[in-house]
Chain A
């Protein structure tokens, strides 16, 4: 069965600092992995996705994530935080081709201090 664990329900960084949001997954088959962002009073929006191929995935707004099979991790990073990055971030996993469900993590709220 698939599962997703996001480490830290809240993360606070200073503007300009590195953003690191952690995600570990469990899947019995090669997974598809996603990061979504949710701004207040809006639905989730796709930041990036990993299916197959290159393990470093670049997304929108300067975010990227690295798929590490040996660590079953898919951490999200951004070199320099901006105030507009303050939002909630969700990691998600699905079972790849033929899979039926996408499982979302509990979310990490990112605070950015001026």
Chain B
């Protein structure tokens, strides 16, 4: 089965450091989503792309977060500088369209000390 691949699976770093999370969407999927999951807030949509163009990043703190798709096989989510409140599990998902079933990766568990 085709899968969404996220790296790294776990990341522990100190406050102020840059964090980069990567996602390889399923081949042929033109829509990519980034989510953040925490116990308190649940699943939050941070940003999403269609055909590599950002369609909505209103859920993302603009001053420290950035999301890009350098090519169709790679999506990145960066945090600079990182803060302890950024600790969460970050999921990438891909789909064949904005309202089609989403295929999720297994997430990056991020801990900011």
- Cβ-defined contact, A43 with B56, below 8 A: no
Report how far A84 CA is from B75 CA in the complex, Å: 33
Number of A-B contacts (CB under 8 A): 48
Contact flags B28-53 to A (C-beta < 8 A → 1, else 0): 00000000000000110100100000
- A43-B107, A95-B99, A101-B56 in contact; A107/B45 too (CB < 8 A)? no
B105:A101 contact, CB within 8 angstroms: no
* Residues on B facing A (Cβ under 8 Å): 4, 42-43, 45, 48, 55-56, 91, 93, 98-99, 101-107
Known: A43-B91, A45-B104, A100-B55; 17 extra A-B contacts, CB below 8 A, are A43-B106, A44-B91, A44-B93, A44-B102, A44-B104, A46-B103, A49-B101, A90-B43, A97-B99, A99-B99, A100-B99, A101-B45, A101-B48, A102-B99, A102-B102, A106-B42, A107-B42
Tell me the A residues contacting B by CB distance below 8 Å.
Answer: 32, 34, 41-46, 49, 90, 94-97, 99-102, 104, 106-107
